[in-house]
């Protein structure tokens, strides 16, 4: 009786490659279909505040859109005047947002309050710039930093707004 011929011999590297490819495909399947990363940093689970805030900020953004952008001003005094008008709108926006601050849990209340405080700091930076422009046509806008970071406070403001899908609540690009 003839013995059957053995099948082709596989190189050991074939099995290692097959295992690696299977592992990678399995990992991608897990990430695509089963993995739930949860909330991002600064993301609010309850969307009540972000929804209300977006409405308030959209009204303010609409008001700002009726003003000539400060970065298109023909001279420093005109720029200061336009920025001052924008600052009034932004200050009113923050005044309208404060009563909407969630009352709990405390971590959420603190996070929203900190974001609104950052906005007030930024508006203060803008107001100082208006005063400086009126005194010195060569004045530069100086933006506060956040904590120990060397990045401007607008990064924190915009990050919180973007993570919570409040696109109208990002800082206007009228100073640069």
Q: Where are the domains of the chain?
A: 48-169
The DSSP H or E segment spanning 105 is: none
Whole-angstrom CA distances from 152 to 19, 34, 107, 118, 131 are 48, 37, 23, 11, 20
**CB of 53 closer than 8 Å to CB of 93:** no
- Helix 48-65 to helix 76-97 angle (10° resolution) is 160
**CB of 102 closer than 8 Å to CB of 52:** no
**CB of 47 closer than 8 Å to CB of 94:** no
Instruction: Please give the model's pTM, rounded to 2 decimal places.
Output: 0.77
pLDDT tens for 72-103 read: 899 999 999 999 999 999 999 999 999 999 99
Neighbouring CB atoms inside 10 A of 108's CB total 16
Confidence of residue 145 (pLDDT cuts 50, 70, 90): very high
* Cis check: omega of the bond before 105, within 30 degrees of 0: yes
């Amino acid at each position: 009786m003839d013995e059957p011929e053995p099948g082709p011999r596989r190189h050991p590297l074939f099995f290692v490659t097959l295992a690696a490819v299977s592992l990678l495909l399995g990992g991608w399947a897990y990430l695509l279909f089963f993995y739930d990363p949860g909330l991002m940093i600064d993301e609010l689970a309850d969307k009540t505040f972000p929804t209300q805030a977006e409405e308030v900020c959209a009204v303010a953004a609409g008001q700002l859109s009726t003003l000539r952008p400060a970065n298109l001003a023909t001279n420093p005094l005109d720029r200061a005047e336009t920025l001052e008008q924008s600052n009034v709108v932004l200050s009113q926006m923050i005044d309208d947002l404060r009563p909407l601050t969630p009352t709990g849990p405390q971590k959420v209340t603190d996070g929203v309050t900190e974001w609104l405080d950052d906005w007030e700091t930024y508006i203060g930076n803008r107001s100082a710039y208006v005063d400086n422009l009126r005194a010195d046509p060569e004045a530069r806008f100086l933006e506060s930093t956040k904590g120990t970071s060397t990045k401007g406070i607008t990064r924190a403001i915009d990050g919180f707004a973007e993570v919570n899908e409040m696109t109208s609540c990002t800082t206007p690009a009228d100073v640069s």
